Chains A and B, each alone.
Chain A
Amino acid sequence: MQIKKQSGFPIDFKKQTGLAVFIVFFFSLPFFMHNYFYQEIILLIFLYAGLGCAWNILGGYTGQLSLGHAAYFGLGAYAYALSVDSLGIIPAIILAWIIPAVLAIPIGWITFRLRGPYFALGTIAFAQILQILATDQLKDFTRGSAGLLVHSIMPQPQYYYYLMLAFFIVSFLVMRSVAESKLGYYLMAIREDENTAQVVTINTTWYKNVALFISASLTGIGGAFYASMLGMIEPVTVFGIDLSNEIVFLVILGGVGTLWGPLVGAVLLQLSSDFLKVYLGSMNIPLLSDSNAFAFFLYGLLIVLVVRFAPDGIVGVLNRWIRKWRTT
Chain B
Amino acid sequence: MARVNWTAEPWHESEMLECAMVVPETPNTSTFTFRAPSGAWFDYEPGQFITLDLPVPGGNVQRTYTISSSPSRPLSISLTVKAQSDSIGTRWMLDHLKPGMKIRAWGPAGIFSFRRHQADKYLFISAGSGITPMMSMTTWAWDSGEMPDITFVHSARRPSEIIFRERLEQFANRVPGLQLRFTVEKPDPFRAWNGYQGRLNQIMLGLMAPDYLEREVFCCGPEPFMASVREMLISLGYDMERYHQESFGLAVASEAEAPALDDVVLDDAARSEITFTASGVTQSCAETDTVLAVAKRAGLNIPSGCTFGLCGTCKVKKTAGEVHMVHNGGISDDDIEAGYILACCSNPMGKVSVEI
Do A and B associate with each other? Answer: no
Q: Which residues of A contact B (CB under 8 A)?
A: none
Q: Which residues of B contact A (CB under 8 A)?
A: none
